[in-house]
Amino acid sequence: MTTAMSRPATDLSPEQAEARERIYAAPLESLDPANPDRFPTGEWQWVFERLRAEDPVHLTDEKDSEFGRYWSLTRWEDIQAADTNHELFSADGVITLARPQTAQQTTSVFDDGTMTEEEKRRRQEAGIRSLLSMDPPDHDIHRGAVAEGVAPASLALLEPLIRERAGAILDSLPIGEEFDWVDKVSIELTAMTLATLFDYPQEKRRQLTYWSDVLTTPAGPGQPAETEEERMKAMRDFYLTMSELVQRRRGEEPRVDFVSLMAHSPHSVNFSEPELFGDCVVLLVGGNDTTRNTITGSVYFLSKNPEENSKLRANPALVPSMVSETIRYQTPLTHMTRRTTRDVEVGGKVIPKGDRVVLWYVSGNRDDAKVENPDSYVIDRKNVRRHLSFGFGIHRCLGNKLAELQLRIIWEEMLARFPEITVVGEPKRSHNHFIKGYESMTVVIPRRN
Ligand code: HEM
């Protein structure tokens, strides 16, 4: 039998080869693919490579993971099949593989200090809901309320704005000296776009970035929120700001920003506080880290693959194709989670009703049964738009066209300005099993003689 381990692992450093061996030597049943330590080191690749080959529908037991018991789908076909079957794989109440929420987390966002114990208990039971954690018909109502914000007509209005801002950001970059690409370009451009999507004051755009970072990162030293109290306060601030904005927009003429759309949707008066909060969170986070990390990833992957870089510079018409390949290769959201509505057989195993199932897009995108030479970054590969990074089915990314648009514009503007961008050392990657990305990446734009 050919196992994944018997396939040559090309281009690995001695440390990587050793890490891969360690993963293959570990007892299969103890593998916890969600372990966040594996994402900054790149070890996730070998965990999933092994699972796809040896145990594609994998159960991680309660005792082996800080995230509790869950099933992993690691092959493309299984992920796509589950993602397109919301009747068997429900999104109700689940989005990511999160640590069990504390009572404090689900109540304190909404607690103005007057909540009774009974109210707190009920709020805790109800949890936080959003379009991404709902099944039809609620999902369709919530998605329908905001979809126009990223519809083709809205994107056509956004395009010149994004281009102007991208140009201004690039023109302000230092030449011939080191700087952090993540902060100066990737965050700046996505924050500006987000502020526009929410019609939020541009001068306060970094607040949106901060809230998004806080929402996706557990509290801890060196993290956006150092303590759980700080994190709770930031979440509550975001919630209060959004509900106030929605109230204000209700008294104004309808426009196509997300907040105005929500405020004027005939259904939104019936949205509960946790639903309003949840939708705003998904719109905020959905448009932030994902695009930001793909922008950074594109610069990094092209610097690591000089042949691909030369292809792109020789033929800028490859930008859209490079963008799609980067979205596959980066897979900025590693997974989504579902819950089975009855016993379901997948790949010869029975997943019991009510269990959590993780759709590992990051693994499916590297499945060689579906993608030729999947561990290579090839900007002009065949069927380049065919990847799992935006999901499938009714929850397929609402902002996928906007994400591609931002990536395309920033690269068109970069190619027009800089013949070279040099990455210095290795980027600092995020310690996160959901958002796969970069905290910082030092680059230099060489001075032209
Ligand atoms: C490269 C960038 C992006 C990636 C990789 C990405 C990925 C995803 C994924 C994997 C899902 C869930 C799909 C599923 O469950 O089947 C999703 C949903 C969503 N995304 Fe994105 N996203 C990106 C950019 C954006 C942008 C720019 C926005 C704009 C606001 C956005 C808004 C949303 C929303 C609102 C949903 C929920 C859709 C629903 O539940 O119906 N995303 N995205």
Q: Give me the tens of pLDDT residue by residue for the chain, a chain 449 residues long.
A: 334 554 545 678 898 899 999 999 999 998 999 999 999 999 999 999 999 999 999 999 988 898 999 999 999 999 999 999 999 999 998 778 876 554 456 666 767 777 777 776 666 655 678 899 999 999 999 999 899 888 999 999 999 999 999 999 999 999 999 999 999 999 999 999 999 999 999 999 999 999 998 988 888 888 889 998 899 899 999 999 999 999 999 999 998 889 999 889 888 888 888 888 889 999 998 888 899 999 999 999 999 999 999 999 999 999 999 999 999 999 999 999 999 999 999 999 999 999 999 999 999 999 999 999 999 999 999 999 999 999 999 999 999 999 999 999 999 999 999 999 999 999 999 989 999 999 999 999 999 87
Q: Tell me the best of 293, 295, 390 to mutate to test the pocket of ligand 1, counting ligand atoms within 8 Å of each CB and taking the most.
A: 390
Ligand 1 pocket, residue 291 CB under 6 Å: yes
Compute the distance from residue 399 Cα to the ligand 1 centre, in Å: 6
Residues forming a β-bridge with 244 = none
**What is the Cα–Cα distance from 242 to 248, expressed in whole angstroms?**
10
- Report phi then psi at 77, rounded to 5: -60, -45
**What is the Cα–Cα distance from 3 to 53, expressed in whole angstroms?**
7
**What is the Cα–Cα distance from 275 to 268, expressed in whole angstroms?**
9
The one-letter code for the residue type at 226 is E
Kindly tell me the burial class for residue 376, based on how many C-beta atoms sit within 10 Å of its own C-beta (0-12, 13-18, 19 or more): middle
Dihedral sign from CA coordinates of 98, 103, 107, 112: negative
**In the chain, what are the domain boundaries?**
4-444
- The pLDDT assigned to 75 comes to 98
- Tokens in use for 129? 């809901």
Is the N-terminal amide bond of 254 cis, ω within 30° of 0?
A: no
* CATH number of the structural domain 4-444: 1.10.630.10
Ligand 1 pocket, residue 216 CB under 6 Å: no
- Report phi then psi at 305, rounded to 5: -125, 75
Ligand 1 pocket, residue 319 CB under 6 Å: no
- The pLDDT assigned to 2 comes to 39
Q: Which candidate, 440, 441, 430, places its Cα nearest to that of 218?
A: 430
Ligand 1 pocket, residue 295 CB under 6 Å: no
Residues forming a β-bridge with 90 = 339
pTM of the model: 0.93
**What is the Cα–Cα distance from 10 to 308, expressed in whole angstroms?**
18
